[in-house]
Amino acid sequence: MRDNTLANIQLQKDDRIFIAGHSGMVGSALVRILKQKGFDNLILKTHKELDLLDQQKVRDFFAKERPEIVFLAAARVGGIEANRSKPYEFLYENLQIQNNVINSAFIEKTRSLVFLGSSCIYPRICPQPMKEEYLMTGPLEPTNEGYALAKIAGMKLLEFLDKEYGFTYLSVMPCNLYGTNDSFDPVNSHVLAGLVRRFSEAVESGDKQITLWGTGDARREFLHVNDMARAVLTLLENNVCCSNVNVGSGYDVSISELAKMIAERSGFQGKILWDHTKPDGMPRKCLDVSKLEELDFKPSYTLEKGIEEMIDYYYSFKGRGSKQ
């Protein structure tokens, strides 16, 4: 076992960096910031080029490419309905991806690996704000249990690799993310993008009311994916490694407050109704971001600015220009 005081996760400009899941929202944000900072030796593979569910193909890829740094941002992701209706797929596929990539990185002596987790790993009823040490102190939220279990397993796999073999890693747990390359899919979108789509469609069709899931009382913390990428690079630049670190804005809003903000900025003037027969998910998810604050990290996006950008992005995504 290696003395962790000697571990170094800082990036070098000539490092061969593999970003698993580079076309997704999180992966593409990491690609953008790495390129902006002059890291040009990036290894990027589409799903067609490399199926991360295929153990042998992943092993062959690592043996051939020998990346020195790995960002594991690939995952099956989705909103509350997708997670609730497909728990087996979320658990199995994410376990398979993680196991294949992490084990291959270990076998091929990758210098370090950055694992992208999620704030949903914390207990359903958790003290707020949620500190890193609260992990595995209570039952998980049932609606996303499969995804959360997979992420916990990935974090533990890295922790045990470090404990037994001195493998250098960093696990980050982001809050609810949104931004460029987000999904507006009716089933698979996350809450902010899903609400942007719902309100924008209501404005386009002239609807006088809209019905949303749950009570609206659940509280969530949001961070633009560009700020998430900045936070990860800040941690690496400061050689924060061999640990789990929360990444978020440090404040939350209720879903009803979020809905009103999006309604106002999208131009929706109708009535908002709530379907109490649908689940809220975790009552509250707000991260303790003390470790990031100690490094003087602050988000560059306010939630208001981020919502306005997402509405514009939705219309651009739809091929209809800006919301104007």
Residues involved in catalysis: 147
What is the C-alpha separation between 274 and 189, in angstroms, rounded? 19
What is the C-alpha separation between 14 and 124, in angstroms, rounded? 42
Task: Render 247-301 in DSSP notation, one character per residue.
Answer: ES-S-EEEHHHHHHHHHHHHT--SEEEEETTS---SSEE-B--HHHHTTT---S-
Task: Render 192-258 in DSSP notation, one character per residue.
Answer: HHHHHHHHHHHHHHT-SEEEEES-S--EEEEEEHHHHHHHHHHHHHTT--SSEEEES-S-EEEHHHH
Question: Two tokens at 73?
Answer: 């941002």
Decide: helix, strand or coil at residue 176.
Answer: strand
The amino acid present at 60, given as its one-letter code, is D
What is the C-alpha separation between 83 and 252, in angstroms, rounded? 22
Other beta carbons less than 10 A from residue 68's beta carbon? 20
Scanning 5-144, the segments in alpha helix (DSSP H) are 25-36, 55-65, 80-85, 87-107
